[in-house]
Structure 1
Amino acid sequence: MNPDLDASALIAEDEPLLAAHLRHALQQAWPALRIVGVVANGAQALERTLALRPQIVFLDIRMPGLDGLEVARALAEDWPEADAAGFPLLVFVTAYDQHAVQAFELQAADYLLKPVQPARLAHCLDRLQGRLQAQSQQRLQPSTPQTPPPLSALLGQLEQLVRATEPAGAARPAAARLEVIAAQQGSITEMIPIEEVIYFEAADKYLRVITSRGEHLIRMSLRELITQIDDQRFWQIHRGVVVQARCIARAVRDEQGRTTLVLKDRPEILNVSRVFAPRFRGM
């Protein structure tokens, strides 16, 4: 490991003592590493990473609001296409036991187990420095075709980690499937059958429920909704949008590679983020 290699990093950890411990350990092991920020929740991690563009992001798996895997997904969605080669190296910080380690080893990311041990940290930093140096050499050779990180592939790998990092023996209770949505407006509660919903869109603490006849607001998060609907019928096309598959008329890909959806019974055009666009290839 080269302690003098210049690089920047952001730490996202909701426990102040653990954040301080990780920052101290990084400063001891890699003095030239610039810590450009320490944040305590997922929303801050997303905002500061997009604003500061650090080369490395240390993400706690479990944070308030967006967790570490959700932050990674959001980064892959929101990162500018023009700077795909600058997508940060991700290091997930987890309290999970050894059963999860192999999953992280196989992915396009690294990991640290809490409490962080010096030997594992040194191994992680060696890998990070190797990747940074390889990227630097590639940039210095303009004749070499640039190979930006496959952000859509990264998302697929992150989704696998969601399952692989569940504590051993843990089982998520099955949520009851939504059949009817109760949407209140003043003194009236509209009962909307789920099959009439064309798409859902996140709006702050609410969801917009869009049908062919209009729209309603319900107080529910998209995360909560997804556990209660059939993902074979309702497809997520963006961090904040889920659309009923049978309501899609066609998917259109433009010259820049952006994908949009034309709906059967609504005039609006829906944007598909790049991490979900592979679903529509071949349609």
Structure 2
Amino acid sequence: MNTKLRALVADDERLLREQLKSRLAQVWPELEVVGEARDGQEAVQKADELRPDIVFLDIRMPGLTGIEAASEIVTLDSWQGEIVFVTAYDEYAVAAFERGALDYLLKPVETERLAQTAQRVKARLQTRKVIAESGEAAGGQGAAGAVDEAALDALLQKFMRASQGLNGAPSGEPPMRWIQATTGATTKLIDVKDVLFFRSDEKYTRVQTKDHEAFIRTPIRELMPRLDGQQFWQIHRSTIVNLSAIAAVTRDDTGRQRVHISGHPEVLEVSRTFAHLFRAS
């Protein structure tokens, strides 16, 4: 391709970003790395701002996983780029990528494997260019985008099941029964079954019961695997809800799903990544 391609590299480890950039310079010297991101949310923001042709996403990042970030990136207006995942996971996780027909690199990234990925990505971008120049861009790219989103949704679920276990709590470990939380200067034990929902911000996770709220330092990502997946569902990167507390699920004018809680005024948003949980079968 005549136009110089541009890339974004996202990894929470600076040394790993530098290593990937160095090896990209070896196997793909004409590629320009125009930005770096240290977490999933920053990756989404920079992808929107810089509009790179390729985004290299580490899987395990704070805020958003690479898969969650990719799910948001592919929905950006006029997105036409390619996603390449970088992972340290074993063969079982890699099999999910292969079934999803998405590009991935295993850490530590090997030069030969990176060169193969570069050739595949360049070929796909060239195909998109040819389609656009032939006047079929609207239909062709729309179809490609739909396939990417569906593959990402399927891959996210496989990833979550592999990392959390089928029922939320890791295999062989009973689900969490009690939560030690603080309310003001008081620390108390909360029975998990009494929790309506959990909501996280940058520092704390709010534990909401019918009558009280308390705070813990455990992030959603660490909390979800310890809960009973038959009782609690993650519906947003920052929210877990107790299924027995759900009064109704509605859609707003934009199509976003909203979860209404019995006996509590707060309405919880369902992110696109988890929207399939409430789709009618």
TM bracket, shorter-chain basis: 0.7 to 0.9
Deviations 1:86-119 (A, max 9, x none): 1642222345566655443222421223444443
The answer on whether the counterparts of 1:46 and 1:71 sit within 8 Å (CA) in structure 2 is no
Partners of 1:113 and 1:82 lie apart in 2 by 27
| TM-score relative to the length of structure 1 | 0.79
The answer on whether the counterparts of 1:175 and 1:227 sit within 8 Å (CA) in structure 2 is no
Q: How many residues align?
A: 271
Q: Report what 1:111 is aligned to.
A: 104
Matched residue type, 1:225: L
Partners of 1:44 and 1:215 lie apart in 2 by 30
Q: Which SS does the other structure have where 1:144 is aligned?
A: helix
**CA offset at residue 24 of structure 1?**
3.3
Matched residue type, 1:132: L
| TM-score relative to the length of structure 2 | 0.80
Structure 2: runs of 5 or more not aligned: 165-169
CA separation of 1:32 and 1:227: change in aligned 2, threshold 3 A = same
Q: Report what 2:261 is aligned to.
A: 263
The answer on whether the counterparts of 1:138 and 1:144 sit within 8 Å (CA) in structure 2 is no
Structure 1: runs of 5 or more not aligned: 167-171
The answer on whether the counterparts of 1:8 and 1:56 sit within 8 Å (CA) in structure 2 is yes
**CA offset at residue 245 of structure 1?**
0.8
Identity %: 39
The answer on whether the counterparts of 2:10 and 2:55 sit within 8 Å (CA) in structure 1 is yes
CA separation of 1:74 and 1:202: change in aligned 2, threshold 3 A = farther
Deviations 1:235-279 (A, max 9, x none): 111010010111112211245322112222111221111111111
Deviations 1:132-188 (A, max 9, x none): 23333444425636222453541321342466699xxxxx67555322222223442
2:250 to 249, 252, 255: 252
**CA offset at residue 230 of structure 1?**
0.7
1:25 aligns with 2:15: no
Correspondences of 1:1-150 after superposition (within 5 Å)? 2=1, 4-13=2-11, 16=14, 18-42=16-40, 44-62=42-60, 65=62, 70-76=65-71, 78-79=72-73, 81=75, 83=77, 86=79, 88-95=81-88, 101-139=94-132, 140-141=135-136, 144=139, 146-147=142-143, 148-149=145-146, 150=148
CA RMSD of aligned residues (A): 3.2
Q: Report what 1:169 is aligned to.
A: none
CA separation of 1:62 and 1:188: change in aligned 2, threshold 3 A = closer
**CA offset at residue 6 of structure 1?**
3.2
Give the helix-richer structure, 1 or 2: 2
The answer on whether the counterparts of 1:100 and 1:165 sit within 8 Å (CA) in structure 2 is no
Deviates more, 1:116-125 or 1:44-53: 44-53
Matched residue type, 2:84: V
Partners of 1:174 and 1:88 lie apart in 2 by 41
Partners of 2:10 and 2:137 lie apart in 1 by 34
The answer on whether the counterparts of 1:235 and 1:244 sit within 8 Å (CA) in structure 2 is yes
The answer on whether the counterparts of 1:74 and 1:239 sit within 8 Å (CA) in structure 2 is no
1:157 aligns with 2:155: yes
Deviations 1:37-60 (A, max 9, x none): 234555544443343332312123
Q: Which SS does the other structure have where 2:8 is aligned?
A: strand
**CA offset at residue 124 of structure 1?**
0.8
